[in-house]
Amino acid sequence: MSAQQPAPAAESGPKKTGCQPPPVDLSVQVGPLRLDNPVMTASGTFGYGDEHPDLTGVSALGAVVTKTTTVEPRAGNPPPRLFETPAGILNSIGLQNVGAEVFVRDVLPRLRELGPAIIVSVGGSRPQDFAHCVELIQGDGLAAFELNISCPNVASGLEFSRSPAEAAKVVRAVRSRTDMPLFVKLSPNVTDIASVGRACIEEGADGLTAVNTFLGMAVDVERRRPVLPRSVGGLSGPAIRPLALCRVWELARRLSCPIIGVGGIVTARDAMEFLLVGASAIQVGTANLRDPSRGARLVEGLREMLRAKGGGRLRDQIGTLRTPLSEG
């Protein structure tokens, strides 16, 4: 189902009998977006979502988030761009992309055919670049934009996400040019993520995506050199899941806005952790690199989890974490 349409009621059909699975409704509301289910791909880990759709099961997803697009094409960083760590990967892709013009001409028409809601990630070096990119791309068939203010792999990539005032400038510039739903992707590499998130919401963002990768580093001991071209890169994968979960929990406790949780999610159980702490939807990133159908499998896994609880609406699970009294 596309975004902004009424959600279907819980699966109808014959009343539950001994053999019938109980009805399950996976649909969620993420700010202005109504999605069939809460599973999205994370930007940069699923290409544009249009490769081998039969193998990836893309049509089962709630939404596809495209890799970040900038106004001009970018070649990205020199290799090596990926380095495997014990429970994740360091990347230094550097926002390689085809640029807004080619994106609109060649990629968008294919994306519109996919089925799930399409969220376009955009980036830039100045607030007006983000706004210009959105202006060039916005149009029919798109559900929302995700503003990538938190890429650690380009010059000035973290500038906007480390200061509430700078983050606000980006959202203000974009909001003045579009009425489309806006989600802002936050960096975990800050002391107070909620203050950055609040500034974005106050400027008219519809929700927050948390989080981008954690700054990390690896050293080639023989050569006494950093492994990655810019010395540091972004760490993702299961290694960051508890850290990302904690950032989402903090945002949910301190702000009342839609949150899309991302970081190290592999299984439906991982996804449920993020939903329980308050995320309205989740994204699958690094897990796609090993298994591009991971997102589709997660949708099935969430359905099974809910069935095992006796059925019902997944959205009723969101933010229902029971916290110990000592938390205060």
Ligand X SMILES: Cc1cc2nc3c(=O)[nH]c(=O)nc-3n(C[C@H](O)[C@H](O)[C@H](O)COP(=O)(O)O)c2cc1C
Cis peptide upstream of residue 23 (ω within 30 degrees of 0): no
Q: Pick the stretch among 189-197, 215-223, 235-243, 309-317 that binds ligand X (CB under 6 A).
A: 235-243
Q: Considering only residues 27, 37, 286, 317, which one is a binding residue for ligand X as defined by CB under 6 A?
A: 286
Count interface residues toward ligand X (CB under 6 A): 26
DSSP 132-169: HHHHHH--TT--EEEEE---TTSTTTTTTTT-HHHHHH
Please tell me which residue in 151, 200, 246, 257 is annotated as part of the active site.
Answer: 151
Rg (CA), the chain: 19
Which one, 23 or 127, has the nearer CB to ligand X? 127
200 an active-site residue? no
Binding of ligand X by 27 (CB under 6 A): no
Restricting to residues 178-217, which ones interact with ligand X according to CB under 6 A? 185, 212-213
Binding of ligand X by 67 (CB under 6 A): yes
Give least dist CB 247 to ligand X, A: 11
**143 neighbors 82 (Cβ within 8 angstroms):** no
Residue 78 backbone phi and psi in degrees, to 5: -70, 160
Residue 263 tokens, joined: 């970081």
Task: Tokens 């972004």: give the residue.
Answer: 234
Nearest position to ligand X, beta carbon = 44
End-to-end alpha-carbon separation of the chain, Å? 41
Q: Pick the stretch among 160-168, 215-223, 280-288, 302-310 that binds ligand X (CB under 6 A).
A: 280-288
Residue 224 tokens, joined: 């006494």
Q: Considering only residues 23, 30, 31, 43, which one is a binding residue for ligand X as defined by CB under 6 A?
A: 43
Residue 207's CB is within 10 A of a number of other CB atoms, namely 26
Q: Pick the stretch among 10-18, 53-61, 187-195, 236-244 that binds ligand X (CB under 6 A).
A: 236-244
* Continuous segment of H or E residues that includes residue 201: helix 193-202
Residues sharing a CB contact under 8 Å with residue 88, sequence separation 6 or more, in sequence order: 235, 236, 237, 238, 239, 240, 264, 286
Interface characters, 101-140, with ligand X (x: CB under 6 A) = --------------------x-------------------
Restricting to residues 140-169, which ones interact with ligand X according to CB under 6 A? 148, 151
Residues that bind ligand X (CB under 6 A): 42-45, 67-68, 89, 91, 93, 95, 121, 148, 151, 185, 212-213, 236-237, 240, 262-265, 284-286
Active site residues: 151
